[in-house]
Structure 1
């Protein structure tokens, strides 16, 4: 047996090219499996990091727990870490300039809460004892009040009450609300925190967090408890049980963190994750197996003569199999460590480059891409590649061992020259000449080698189309989940007349910092006589569900809400120019015409076309707010244009039963005058959306807006929301999703190209004696080139014939899987298919020419005698 092992080693040395090609195949396979797993783990870690910084590292929170019952959660075996917090109440900002946010919202945290809950310290330190507090930076920017670290202040804490009902931080200001105080506290400022994510931009109170001293809590006090669970995957089952035992009033889950950990209650999301994950796993496994199997199958098939010679001198079938297994072991021993290391190193370099491009931080939180090396993943990858090598060796070796020595030496087992088998049509000779006919017969003559190459091409095609579809669906899903926001500031002047508000907005628009703006108003109308055919496919499908009854009218028609939106004269003119429309065509109030935004995006759920209507069609609309015996105002709207492009400051309709239509200011004002009083009041509500120039000092812009408000003396309330953090987070998240998807597809494409290159190169190299024989009987260099070119065409056509339908089938499966979580229209990936068709022929031609170019200068006699590569 030692002799056979030595012979195996010697054979690997003599056939260096074949050995190197096989090693490269194993390295690529190992690198692909390890790289994909590492890439997924690293991106998952990134989003988990970000979620912990923005939403906290806890998994669930229990509200309104009697302090005496807190032990049932804190001491439970399921709880790894418990955090206590308490909402103390609201306190008035007496000298604040902010009318929109006139309160403190004061909470208290224990030490563990400051560590695990989403609070980011900007300067100073967190409270460490009773009477210390940190305050939100928004107080300093918006109110004109100055608080310094070390400064003390006293506040009267109480509850917001409106006509006997208590209001929370999530409820807007009310003109009739009052603050009922019940205690006075004095605090010393120890630090400034960034605005917490749980504090909405339009929340009435600025967040302030004091230190929670458990020793001052009584048994009846209600506290909030947040936990880090021992086993987060069971959180949705375990948390309700803990809440029941502890008599908690409410439970909430840290869904942002749990989502990126792969834990969710959404059945559609779960189905999508599992089915897409299974499809990707099968594709990666298939690609990996193909790379290794083809490398061994072709080379072992060509070595049958050697196996036959060994068998003729006494080697048994078992010894031959062991000899081949030993070869696989040696190659795996060399290639697997290199492949795993290359996969990890490649992803590590990629992530480092990405971090440099993103300046070390992907999100505003400071989270960055880290290389996550999971030893379990590496162990599984090594075992998987080892098993693949075993199977790749076992099947060809078993076939080789079964062949009799005479047949193996004569090599008659694989090549059966029968007239029927090699028969070609006269059309082949007519179209391609003798070289084309010879190329086709060469492919038919050795079907196993031909099928191995064909299968390699086919798998590469399927992988490319499938993962390109995965990338496309990933982009669509991220667009649904994270909608783009074009503006930087939302400004609203409340409790003033429309004229005063417009004057204020116009002066703000003239500031140097403002690049683009819109003044948005809405009229809500309803169409009640729509026909089924006028609804889009998604809504027609919705009608077949029980919930679809809301779209039906009593007389058998269908209703849909129409939101007529005005964006200001300047923005409407710019929008019309972008669409190639004439503004004058939309200013005639006697013939009301609007621009239909025929796309709706329900965040995290669906992206669809609501209506099946074209320019020129008309629809009758009514005022749904008419009261009592008042006859609803009715008017006819003509669809002047249909588009998916949005004007500045407007987003897609986010409600299933509505659609947006953009109208001119003239039409809007004339319609508004004829509406019912409630609709008029709603239509007069006007907001400004402003986009700023690059590198503008946003704080200075706020001060300029406040100065304009003070100069006009218009009264009312000024609300101003800077959404920079929100916009940047969306942009960065989508950027990272793009990098992940493009990187994923690039990796798979590289694997596919290399797989094709290795398989065809090996195939051509192993046919050197065959090519030498053809040359010896008169095949000219030009004829040889033609034959190679025709073989390339036949390979490409046959692979595409099977690969494209299979790719589309996997694309359909991928779509149906993603569709469990996101609704959007299916589309055949024509672009990817065209790229794939061109790519296949280019790669095959280049590979065949490259591989055959080495054989052109070889001596025919040497090639016929040579057994090794």
Structure 2
């Protein structure tokens, strides 16, 4: 070991406090980086595992492939896993069975060649029997279990109910959908034409593809929808020995096709490969591709949309904050140390030490500190992750449906953390090392480089020189001297003449203040972003959409011209809701009936911002705004609870003779790129709902000012030409809806909307007389449990059989909400950990810088005490210096933090158009308290250290 290495290590040993605090600073910096990287790896792995367990490990699908496509995929080195599902044709269940079982089944091959550890697709849940394992075995939807069907394309050999072990025959055929207007037709498959518009299309079926005979070996839980084309629709699965796929991709029928589901070595290559396959060949059936975006987004493959750009910019700001935090902490320690030891470096230089050797001395100190601090920081970061994940394990498992959030210690992540910590350390030490090596031996020994007069100090010095020529020898103490006396005068001189040391201290305080404020701003931003999509459907896990004019209803409540018997519909809903409430395991949140009203709203009721939105109608000359508004009628129990929650008078708002509406002061805007929420209403008033006259099947597009005066209506004829009608001819009837209150919240059963909303009780259903279409919604709360929501749906479906007048469709949203809540929880966990560690770095930064700055001035303090400065005067001097540092550091740090906050605001505005910039007053207050507390603690510690040293010894001995 060289003499300079031993000198560097001895310096670290003799200055234990500075060394320990520097090691702590490096450890905190590395622990922050380690914790961030390890948390990201662990949470990402959990999200990948959870998504894959629900949906499979597939990355992309190419549907409608040819034999050449299949060969290309099988030979592509990028494709690591592949399975093919063939659609062999459609099975007609007949009109007599369609109300309960649907019109059709698709005959498809069972995906049996799946990797057991990481299966490409998540096969359906089998509720009875087993999956097909040999040719001739068939798996059917659970709705067909024990069913006795009217004559159709699915028949049993014994004519009895369909059970496990039943011998059945499946007649395969082709569905053809034809447009009524132009006669164009398409073969309906799961890729194209599965759902038809009966008002604009007709369909025919021909059993022309042969038949399949086999034995029913099981029943699976059918949902009907899948993100994979190959698994869309109600399916009868059959075992395939390979011949079915060959026939599907080689025959001439457009009704038979095959879908290739695959995974690639690089997730980013999956979508381009699928697109290339479906677009490169001429084919007998339309091709389509889809990508498993819900999985590969956790692998870093994200769409180029504003929300992801926002997240990337925020991540960049976070990375910059982490680097600045680490560099500032370590740099300040070395900068102060080198500034106070220039005399030592001068002595070494005078004895023949080269600049390279002096630089190496400082860098050896840095490496020695890093040799201890980096491993400790990595250990602390990993340990912190285990603690946090252990504390949140049950909560995350509950949110993720049982998925455990285990800590994944990635060697790559630890290596990156170590390298970043080392780079931070070397960068922090390099500048002070260069400064130490450039000082000449004579200047270093005389310490002339340590004192730099500010411009203001130089002007004061010249004035003093001019005054010295006058007769008086008195000198002004200045403002500091007049307030704090001689101690203030000396402190002021120290601040103006030892500016390099002061700048380091002020910089440390500024960075610490900026870190504290920035961490709070980041927490606000991320909480806003993660909470925007989570809170919109609280308590709604299963949604029921109810119609009385659909194909599934008996049309008993449908009136002429598309209108609905509102009171009759309310009566049916009330009875149906009562039955649902009484069912075991079902917790309904109320129901609402609604229609979209074309309405005039007085401008005085609306805020200016709502009338300036893109696509919004302009203000009319009569002072009204014309637009759409949802009129929602909620059940009486929900209405009364809503009135009570708002603190309104029941007698006023529950009077059937004079119904009053409540306007929801929330207006969501989502154009696919940005999100926003506006508060549209500013006052109550009366809204006028319009009923348009019969215009031979045409619909009024808008109401606008007539250049000749008054109003006119605009609609388009069959050729798309605009037609204008006087207002009186276009409008057949109007109805007034009085708004009695404005509310920031809405009942649970009412969804958020991008349209103005009014809430009324069900007893006011007569106000729907002007509506052309009434629909109803009902929401079920299952505590976020997707399986419970499925069970609730089955229970409600059995109840709905007694209400033929209602056509009900179901949407299980619990799974999507689960992922949103999981995302919010992980984001908030990260935020809190980041804020805590950043706060610790800020505290260590101030303590390290200020305490060492004072301790290393022991010789200076001893000199002042030797000339008669007492302890009280000494404390006043230090207090003045610290106050100066605190004020300047706080102002500079606040400015830096506001710049970062403004950058975060600009990033958020890319995706959240209504996100408002505000000064982080709470974070500023916290920063003030924390910085003052740390300054007091640092000064008390440093003064206690300097007080223990002898004045004589301090004057005789340089601090090393």
Fold shared, TM-score > 0.5 on shorter chain: yes
Contact 1:480/1:606, CA 8 A, preserved across alignment: no
Cα 1:664/1:45, change in 2 over 3 Å: same
TM (normalized to structure 2)?
0.77
1:665 equivalent in structure 2:
762
Cα 1:706/1:515, change in 2 over 3 Å: closer
Match of 2:907, SS state, is helix
Number of aligned positions between the proteins: 848
Contact 1:64/1:224, CA 8 A, preserved across alignment: yes
Contact 1:56/1:254, CA 8 A, preserved across alignment: no
Cα 1:723/1:650, change in 2 over 3 Å: same
Match of 1:116, SS state, is coil
* Aligned with residue 681 of structure 2, among 613, 618, 630: 613
Task: Mark the structure with the bigger radius of gyration.
Answer: 2
Q: Hey, what's the Cα distance between the residues in 1 that align with 2:607 and 2:420?
A: 51
Is 1:240 aligned with 2:308? Answer: no
2:323 equivalent in structure 1:
285
TM-fit CA distance, 1:2: 2.0
Is 1:518 aligned with 2:590? Answer: yes
Q: Which moved more, 1:145-154 or 1:823-832?
A: 145-154
* Aligned with residue 538 of structure 2, among 461, 485, 491: 485
Match of 2:450, SS state, is coil
Q: Hey, what's the Cα distance between the residues in 1 that align with 2:359 and 2:308?
A: 45
TM-fit CA distance, 1:406: 3.3
TM-fit CA distance, 1:453: 2.2
Q: CA RMSD in A?
A: 4.3
* Aligned with residue 521 of structure 2, among 465, 469, 482: 469
1:458-501 Cα offsets, whole Å, 9 max, x none, are 22333333343333222322233444331344346653641223
2:733 equivalent in structure 1:
633
Contact 2:307/2:673, CA 8 A, preserved across alignment: no
TM-fit CA distance, 1:46: 2.5
Cα 1:560/1:55, change in 2 over 3 Å: farther
Matches within 5 A, 1:291-440: 291-359=329-397, 363-364=400-401, 366-416=402-452, 420-421=456-457, 426-429=478-481, 439-440=491-492
Is 1:116 aligned with 2:152? Answer: no
Contact 1:93/1:104, CA 8 A, preserved across alignment: no
Q: Hey, what's the Cα distance between the residues in 2 that align with 1:418 and 1:72?
A: 74
Contact 1:67/1:222, CA 8 A, preserved across alignment: no
1:544-579 Cα offsets, whole Å, 9 max, x none, are xxxx3x645998986432111121122112112212
Match of 2:372, SS state, is helix
Q: Hey, what's the Cα distance between the residues in 2 that align with 1:294 and 1:764?
A: 13
1:598 equivalent in structure 2:
666
TM-fit CA distance, 1:737: 2.6
Q: Hey, what's the Cα distance between the residues in 2 that align with 1:501 and 1:166?
A: 38
Match of 2:917, SS state, is coil
Q: Hey, what's the Cα distance between the residues in 2 that align with 1:64 and 1:413?
A: 78
Matches within 5 A, 1:13-412: 13-67=13-67, 69-88=69-88, 89=90, 92=93, 99=100, 107-112=108-113, 115-119=119-123, 127-132=132-137, 155=170, 171=195, 183-189=211-217, 198=226, 209-216=237-244, 217-218=246-247, 219-220=250-251, 221-247=256-282, 249-359=287-397, 363-364=400-401, 366-412=402-448
TM-fit CA distance, 1:57: 2.1
Cα 1:584/1:526, change in 2 over 3 Å: farther
Cα 1:714/1:273, change in 2 over 3 Å: closer
Q: Which moved more, 1:563-572 or 1:379-388?
A: 379-388
Cα 1:229/1:348, change in 2 over 3 Å: same
Contact 1:518/1:689, CA 8 A, preserved across alignment: yes
1:260-315 Cα offsets, whole Å, 9 max, x none, are 22223334245334433332222222222112211211112222121122122222
Q: Which moved more, 1:756-765 or 1:231-240?
A: 231-240
TM-fit CA distance, 1:232: 2.9
* Aligned with residue 627 of structure 2, among 560, 585, 594: 560
Cα 1:851/1:306, change in 2 over 3 Å: same
Match of 2:85, SS state, is strand
Name stretches of at least 5 consecutive residues in structure 2 with no aligned partner: 150-159, 180-185, 461-475, 558-567, 697-728
* Aligned with residue 904 of structure 2, among 814, 817, 823: 814
Cα 1:256/1:8, change in 2 over 3 Å: same
TM-fit CA distance, 1:614: 0.9
Q: Hey, what's the Cα distance between the residues in 1 that align with 2:54 and 2:121?
A: 9
Q: Hey, what's the Cα distance between the residues in 1 that align with 2:682 and 2:78?
A: 59
TM-fit CA distance, 1:524: 0.7
TM-fit CA distance, 1:630: 6.1
Q: Which moved more, 1:431-440 or 1:15-24?
A: 431-440
Contact 1:292/1:392, CA 8 A, preserved across alignment: yes
Cα 1:714/1:70, change in 2 over 3 Å: closer
Q: Hey, what's the Cα distance between the residues in 2 that align with 1:286 and 1:94?
A: 70
TM-fit CA distance, 1:71: 1.6
Cα 1:491/1:257, change in 2 over 3 Å: closer
* Aligned with residue 735 of structure 1, among 818, 825, 830: 825
TM (normalized to structure 1)?
0.84
Cα 1:112/1:288, change in 2 over 3 Å: farther
Q: Which moved more, 1:804-813 or 1:179-188?
A: 179-188
Q: Hey, what's the Cα distance between the residues in 2 that align with 1:397 and 1:196?
A: 69
Q: Hey, what's the Cα distance between the residues in 1 that align with 2:952 and 2:225?
A: 78
* Aligned with residue 843 of structure 2, among 750, 753, 765: 753
Contact 1:596/1:642, CA 8 A, preserved across alignment: yes
2:563 equivalent in structure 1:
none
Match of 2:65, SS state, is strand
Contact 2:784/2:814, CA 8 A, preserved across alignment: no
2:470 equivalent in structure 1:
none
Match of 1:186, SS state, is strand
Cα 1:49/1:453, change in 2 over 3 Å: farther
TM-fit CA distance, 1:238: 4.0
Q: Hey, what's the Cα distance between the residues in 2 that align with 1:457 and 1:646?
A: 47
Contact 1:54/1:118, CA 8 A, preserved across alignment: yes
Match of 1:490, SS state, is strand
Q: Which moved more, 1:771-780 or 1:392-401?
A: 771-780
Contact 2:692/2:732, CA 8 A, preserved across alignment: yes
Is 1:571 aligned with 2:638? Answer: yes
TM-fit CA distance, 1:407: 2.9
Is 1:643 aligned with 2:740? Answer: no
Match of 1:335, SS state, is helix
Q: Hey, what's the Cα distance between the residues in 1 that align with 2:491 and 2:114?
A: 74
Q: Which moved more, 1:419-428 or 1:390-399?
A: 419-428
Q: Hey, what's the Cα distance between the residues in 2 that align with 1:626 and 1:851?
A: 89
Is 1:852 aligned with 2:943? Answer: yes
1:357-410 Cα offsets, whole Å, 9 max, x none, are 434x7522x543343444444444433333333332222122222223333233
Q: Hey, what's the Cα distance between the residues in 1 that align with 2:806 and 2:762?
A: 24
Contact 2:516/2:927, CA 8 A, preserved across alignment: yes
Q: Hey, what's the Cα distance between the residues in 2 that align with 1:131 and 1:778?
A: 106
Q: Hey, what's the Cα distance between the residues in 1 that align with 2:14 and 2:926?
A: 40
2:578 equivalent in structure 1:
506
Match of 1:461, SS state, is helix
Match of 2:539, SS state, is coil
Cα 1:759/1:436, change in 2 over 3 Å: same
1:839 equivalent in structure 2:
930
Cα 1:488/1:399, change in 2 over 3 Å: closer
Q: Hey, what's the Cα distance between the residues in 1 that align with 2:218 and 2:795?
A: 30
Q: Hey, what's the Cα distance between the residues in 1 that align with 2:593 and 2:98?
A: 27
TM-fit CA distance, 1:185: 4.3
Cα 1:102/1:804, change in 2 over 3 Å: farther
Name stretches of at least 5 consecutive residues in structure 1 with no aligned partner: none
